[in-house]
Each structure stands twice: as C-alpha cells, then as structure tokens.
Structure 1
Amino acid sequence: MRVDNTRPLEFSEGDYPQIEYQRRQQYWDSIRLALFTLAIVAIIGIAIGIVTHFVSEDDKSFYFLASYKVTNIKYKENYGIRTSRDFTERSRQIERMMSRIFRRDSSGGNRFIKSHVIKISPDEHGVNIFMVLMFRYPSTSSTVQIKKKIENILYQSLKTKQMPLTINRPSFTLTSIDSKKMRNLLNSRCGIRMTTSNMPLPASSSTERIVNGRQTAVEGEWPWQASLQLIGAGHQCGATLISNTWLITAAHCFRKNKDPHQWIVTFGTTITPPTVQRSLGKIIVHENYRKETNEHDIALAQMTARVEFSNVVQRVCLPDSSIKLPPKTSVFVTGFGSIVDDGPTQNKLRQARVETISTEVCNRKDVYDGLITSGMLCAGFMEGKVDACKGDSGGPLVYDNHDIWYLVGIVSWGQSCALPKKPGVYTRVTQYRTWIASKTGI
C-alpha cells in the first residue's frame, strides 16, 4: 500500500608370458598400494573432520554479568536513557574496550563473542557499569574455571595496558548467568538481534531485496517487523515494534479504516503462519497528516495485550532527534510487499540494503522536483532496481550502529517502484521523536 499519488508514481600374451605376467603383477601391486594409501589418508581426513566438527559443535555459550566502577568519567543524566546519544556512544566505547581486552589475549581471543552494556548508573566517584559478557568454550569446561580465566585476563590487562577508562579493580564482580537471564537483561535494551542459540546476529550483508531481493535468511533477523492486517482482507501494511505494546507505522495505512477493532498485527518471518498475533486497541494518526502531499505520514498503534520479547520478537531503538545520517549511508528496508509494481503480497519477509540520498538531490527537478520536505528521507539508488514497493508501507527503514539497530525511516511513498531517479521516500523518524514521546512516553 505504498502511496503513488504524488505523480504518475513507478577417463597376446607374447612369447614371454611369464615375464609379461610378472610385470603386470608388479604394476597392479603398485596401483593397489597407492589406492590403499589414498583410502587410508581419506579415512583419516574424514575422521579428523568429524572429530573437529563435533568438538566445535560441542562448544557451549557462557554468559556473565559484569559490574564495576569507572572513575574517570562523570555521570550524565542521559546515561539513564538507553536510546540517547550519550548512552549509545559511552556504551560503544566500553564495549570496544572489552573487545580489545579479550580478543588480544592469546588464551581468550577465540572465545570472546560479544559484550553489551545494560546500564550506566551514577556513583560518587564516577559511574557504575553493568554489562553482559558472552563467550564460547567446550561444554566440558567448568564455569568456575572460565570465570577465573576471564578475571585473570582482565586484571592482567588493567596492569599492563593503557585503557581509555579507569576501572576500579576492587569493584569488579563477575556473575555467571544462564541464557534466560541473559536474554531478560538484553531485553532491557532495544535494537538487538539474536539467533535461536542466543548468539548475537551481526549486521546483514544482503545487497538485495523487496524489488530485486532476497528472503530473510534467519528467523529473528528483523524481530521488530510486524504485519498490519484488516480482518477479512489480510495484509495491508508493515509496522515496527517500539515497545511491548506500541507499534509505529504510516498514517496512510489507515486512510480507509481507523477502527482498531478491525485490525490485527502479526510477528514472524511469514504472514501465515504468524509467530505471534495481537489485536489493536488504539490507533493514533498524526494530526497534521496530509494525503495530498504525504506530509506527516506517521501513525501509532497500540496492542490490546503486550508481547513478550524473545529472539524472534524484539523492539527496535528509536533514534535521538539529533542523529543525522550522511548521504550514501547503508540502511535496510524490510517488508512483505510486492516484488514488482502492483504485484501480490509476499508471505515471506524480504529485505534490502539501500543508501540514503540527500534531500537536495532528491528535490532536483529530474527526481522529485521539490516535493521532499524536512519530515521526509530519501533512500534507494539513483539507478533504481532496489526499492520498497506496494505492501511495504509503514514498515521499517533501519540503521545499524555497531549491531544496535535504529529506526530512521517509515516506508511512505514513491513514484512506482525501483525506477531510475525515483528512490523510495520515507518518513524521517528523528523529526517526530517529540511527537512519539508525547503519545507513548517512549
């Protein structure tokens, strides 16, 4: 339901048989010996491969909650807001430091997976840091042994390396936690993608998608993607999960029907069957939405029952209002929309990498001729070919900031789909942070 209403939118025996026979026998003996040797080598190789496979497969994930004080930074109020730039930048600095500590160590370099800052709180001598550390070790390893090894690596680093942050060693505590506790802790943070084995999912390298694209490869790859459906009519638009109960989408999705009781929302990589389904209890369309110009094309929808966060259902981060993405920044758009102009809805979620395009370029006479306002964001490619399309409306355009994903755009409109010089136009989320907060408290 992407809007196209601004312009015509796009391998005898001889005399000496005894001697001859003996020569053949020696020849075949050589062949047999060679084949036998090759077979032994192959069997050994396969055995090594199998052993290596099972040893690797026998690795187990270990999770720890780390807590410590940092004494050379002062607490800022925005550290309490996990989506703020201050929290994000400080968290990235701390996580990079932990990565350097464990990946440079010869004994732990191949075992450290990732870290995530969960909370930054005030302390009279600086700040308190709470974070999750993830490692992979053989399943026969003892948690106590691993904990001691991790502590030794950290303490040695604090003695011998110059660190950007001053960690108060006596304050450092490390507590083993199970995968459920780890997941619950990470649920306090937005924009994190996890595999079913509770391992972090790195940024996707897809370069294709919706129009000229590929299906999403892993369940939980885009856990905030939702499908908005009219009861009896099926999928109408995409939406993005921003909390346990709130979704964000495009205003034009509700042009014909604003009655929340006529709508349902589903989550998962397929529309049928869905992973989770909920009813809507409230729809809020931006008061200044104008269908003639597509301005303020943003709406909120609240579910009647909350969803539980998991590896396959998770909220995205909302960006700080001051975030500005330069042109050609890689962003990803996802949806269940058609893969050709006016084609059918896709049952399997699809994805694409596109690039941001400056408003100046997008407003050129040969592009959108001045129709792009400050509340809009262009993304795609000037040569076309990759784009969102009908049925993707209201869905997310997301940006990866060190494996934390932020919603920067909402699929809004465009001229047809994937045409040259007619990129997709999205509602610029940063422009509406105050409005979103005023309606949802998020």
Structure 2
Amino acid sequence: EGTFKSYMKLNTSAGEVDLYKKLYSSDSCASGKVVSLRCIDCGLSTRSVNIMNRIVGGSGAVLGQWPWQVSLHVHGTHVCGGSIITRQWIVTAAHCVEGRFSDPYSWRAYAGILNQDEMLLRNGYRVQQIISHPDYDTDSKDNDIALMKLETPLTFSDTVRPVCLPNPGMMFQPNQQCWISGWGAEYQGGKTSNNLNYVMVPLIEQSRCNSIYIYNGMILPTMICAGHLEGGIDSCQGDSGGPLVTNKNSVWWLVGDTSWGTGCASPNRPGVYGNMTVFTDWIYKNMQVKY
C-alpha cells in the first residue's frame, strides 16, 4: 500500500464543502479512497496589480508581486523562468532542461529577488532532480513541462510563495485576463532583462489560435494561447518556463508555463504556453514519489 498526495485549493469562507464531488479518480489509487487532506497556502500576492497601467509593453515588477516566480541559472547565467508550487518543487518547461541542460547539478534557482545583478551575490538553491515529461516532443513542443526538485526547501515569506495549480476540470475563458512575468528579452533578439517585468495578456480560444491566419493547426490540447493579436506585447527569449497566471476570487492560479511562439510580439503570433490543467495529474504523481 502507498499514499497518494494530491492538492486542491478550497475557499475557507465557503462554509461546508462536499469534497467528494470535487475529487477525481486516478489510477494511482485503485480503491479510490481518500487517505488524508493537507492544507497549503498558495496563490497569495502582497502587491496589487494595476491593470490599466500595465497593458502596453510590460512594466517592472515590485518585490512580492509575483512571489512564485523564480529565475533558473546555469553557471551564473539566467536561462529560464519557473514557478514555485511547493517548498521543494518548481514547474518549468521541458525545452529548458533538454540536452546539455538536463544535469540538475548545473542549475541554481533564485526566489524572492527582482534584479539579476543581485542574484550574482547569492548562492541560490541547488537542484536535486529534474523530471521532464516523458512525452515531450522537441519539434512540436507537445507536453512542454518539467519539474525541478530543490535540494533544500524554500522558506516561504511575503516575497517567496507558491502559486496554485488549477483544480481538475477548472475552466479558463477566452479573453480572460492573465499575466506573464520574467527576465526575458524586451525585443526579438535582445538581451535578457536585468529586472523582472510583467504584462497582461488575454487568453485566446484554441480554435481561433489554430486558424490559418495564426498558427494553422499547430496548437495541440497540451497548449494554450495568450496574447494580443495586434502585436506589441508578448513573452520572449529568457521567459521560457515562467508562469502564465490569472486571478480568480483573489487567488492566483497557474494557467500555463511559457513554451514557444513565432518571434516576439509579432502580429497574429501570440505566445503559446503549456496548458496546466492537462498536466496537474502528472505533476501530482511525480511529486508524490519523493515529496
């Protein structure tokens, strides 16, 4: 026998909740019985987001605004972003950790810091293990998700907190406002930004994103599109693996991880992200092994 640990965000002000109706079956637990429940605070930000001032071009973040955002370094250089989901686990993109970047001991994770120069003065958190999705496809970027397990747990604070993973079956609507953040280039071919930036991007319906004028059938069920079709706002090189989040009922949810796109902020070429609702079960199963 074994225990299966899963996580669900509940609104404590909702009163009595019928948990049974919210649970979903998994082949990890043949009996289907619930073993235990564990509480974890997630999706909390100490800073508000000024929507009206943050739409055009992206703006600099303030400490505590995106407390789940991490900078992932290889040999002292920022390579990708990631999202804190527990004290020891980070979600990033599989394409960040393929090939020569697959060695966990070459990585360091930095949390609760806005400025890349400041990170050079810190040791960061060593990575103990990398788990890349077994069905990740390098060419199509299908299943572009990976997990990093840190050697030592993070200490949570106002500036270091986990984001909430979406509950099974959670729906996100087209045009729903989401936010991306990262240290990526501020224009196509540019250098990594020294400061953490963020911007609002609306979700785009998959059928529209798959139209002949946009990505022409390249968007798979494991992907989700977000951005402004007129261009000018987007994620870019160096943002890969970082969070696409939305706010529902004052809680921040991880909608996706930054995956790919054609150019940066080009018209009719929005950003493409890993669809987190597809990956939650895979994440839980892999965390339970050594959580």
Which position in structure 2 is the counterpart of 1:365? 212
1:71-93 per-residue CA deviation (whole Å, 9 max, x = no partner) reads: xxxxxxxxx97634xx23xx354
**Matched AA of 1:236:** V
Aligned positions of 1:157-236 closer than 5 A: 188-194=40-46, 201-205=47-51, 208=54, 212-216=57-61, 218-232=62-76, 234-236=77-79
Measure the CA separation in 1 of the matches of 2:70 and 2:102.
18
Q: Of 399, 403, 419, which aligns to 2:246?
A: 399
Measure the CA separation in 2 of the matches of 1:271 and 1:357.
31
Which position in structure 1 is the counterpart of 2:108? 264
Choose 364-373 or 400-409, whichever is displaced more.
400-409
Aligned-partner SS, 2:163:
coil
**Residue 253 to residue 370, structure 1, CA distance change in 2 (3 Å):** same
**Matched AA of 2:87:** N
Give the greater-gyration-radius structure (CA): 1
Q: Which residues of structure 2 form unaligned runs of 5+?
A: 19-38
Q: 1:338 and 2:185 equivalent?
A: yes
Deviation at 1:272, TM superposition (A): 2.3
Which position in structure 2 is the counterpart of 1:243? 86
**Residue 295 to residue 81, structure 1, CA distance change in 2 (3 Å):** closer
Aligned-partner SS, 2:246:
strand
1:177-233 per-residue CA deviation (whole Å, 9 max, x = no partner) reads: xxxxxxxxxx93111112xxxxxx334425537x821101x211000000111014x
Q: Of 140, 146, 151, which aligns to 1:304?
A: 151
Deviation at 1:366, TM superposition (A): 0.8
Higher helix fraction: Structure 1 or Structure 2? 1
Aligned-partner SS, 1:272:
helix
**Matched AA of 1:240:** S
Give the percent of matched residue pairs that are identical in Structure 1 and Structure 2: 34
Q: Which residues of structure 1 form unaligned runs of 5+?
A: 1-79, 95-119, 123-186, 195-200
**Matched AA of 1:191:** G
**Residue 207 to residue 409, structure 1, CA distance change in 2 (3 Å):** farther
Aligned-partner SS, 1:355:
strand
Measure the CA separation in 1 of the matches of 2:70 and 2:193.
13
**Matched AA of 1:212:** G
Q: 1:424 and 2:268 equivalent?
A: no
1:295-339 per-residue CA deviation (whole Å, 9 max, x = no partner) reads: 000000011111110011001000012011111000000000000
Which position in structure 2 is the counterpart of 1:319? 166
Measure the CA separation in 1 of the matches of 2:92 and 2:213.
29
Greater RCO between the two (CA within 8 Å, min separation 6)? 2
Aligned-partner SS, 1:440:
helix
Aligned-partner SS, 2:101:
coil
**Residue 346 to residue 245, structure 1, CA distance change in 2 (3 Å):** same
Aligned-partner SS, 1:269:
coil
Measure the CA separation in 2 of the matches of 1:224 and 1:276.
18
TM-score, length-scaled by structure 2:
0.84
Measure the CA separation in 2 of the matches of 1:347 and 1:206.
24
Instruction: Report if aligned partners of 2:223, 2:273 keep a CA contact under 8 Å in 1.
Output: yes
Q: 1:329 and 2:159 equivalent?
A: no
Deviation at 1:430, TM superposition (A): 0.4
Which position in structure 2 is the counterpart of 1:252? 95
Instruction: Give the aligned CA root-mean-square deviation in angstroms.
Output: 2.2
**Matched AA of 2:142:** E
How many equivalent pairs are there? Answer: 261
Which position in structure 2 is the counterpart of 1:6? none
Measure the CA separation in 1 of the matches of 2:151 and 2:6.
26
Choose 254-263 or 389-398, whichever is displaced more.
254-263
Measure the CA separation in 1 of the matches of 2:256 and 2:102.
22
Q: Of 259, 263, 271, which aligns to 1:412?
A: 259
Aligned positions of 1:77-88 closer than 5 A: 83-84=8-9, 87-88=10-11
1:77-133 per-residue CA deviation (whole Å, 9 max, x = no partner) reads: xxx97634xx23xx3546xxxxxxxxxxxxxxxxxxxxxxxxx799xxxxxxxxxxx
Deviation at 1:342, TM superposition (A): 1.1
Measure the CA separation in 1 of the matches of 2:243 and 2:185.
16
Aligned positions of 1:373-388 closer than 5 A: 373-388=220-235
